[in-house]
């Protein structure tokens, strides 16, 4: 049985998605998804790195940055609330807001 590969796109953190393409060749669908997911993958990597770096203390209004000396993105500053990282992306909803892409395989009925 022949197959069709539907490629979906979702917007940022929202659960809405729609089909944006249909491929008859699985390799073409995989390439499309891979190419268009690059930005999202980079955002997820940065989010995970920032999440490992920041340690929020529950008893104090202070944050500790474990990777501040080794992270190329770390810009630690202080304001009236304490220390913060100018490039903090540890909040998933702030950090991972590009579109996500995936494929779904469907049988073609003849």
Tell me the domain boundaries of the chain: 3-107
CA 23, chain centre distance (Å): 25
Contact 2, 26 (CB under 8 A): no
Greater model confidence, 84 or 6: 6
Question: In percent, how much of the chain has pLDDT > 70?
Answer: 86
52-74 pLDDT, tens digit each: 887 765 545 556 788 888 888 88
- Predicted confidence (pLDDT) at residue 44 exceeds the cutoff of 60: yes
Separation CA 55–CA 12 (nearest Å): 26
The pLDDT assigned to 19 comes to: 94
Stretch among 42-51, 73-82, 90-99 having the lowest mean pLDDT: 90-99
């Amino acid at each position: 049985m022949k197959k069709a590969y539907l490629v979906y796109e979702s917007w940022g953190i929202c659960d809405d998605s729609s089909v944006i393409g249909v491929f008859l060749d699985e390799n073409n669908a995989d390439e499309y998804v891979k190419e268009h997911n690059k930005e999202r993958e980079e955002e997820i990597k940065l989010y995970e790195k920032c999440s490992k770096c920041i340690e929020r203390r529950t008893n104090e209004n202070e944050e500790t940055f474990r990777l501040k000396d080794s992270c190329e993105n770390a810009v630690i500053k202080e304001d009236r609330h304490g220390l913060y990282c100018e490039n903090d992306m540890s909040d998933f909803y702030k950090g991972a807001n590009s579109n996500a892409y995936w494929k779904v395989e469907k049988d073609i009925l003849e």
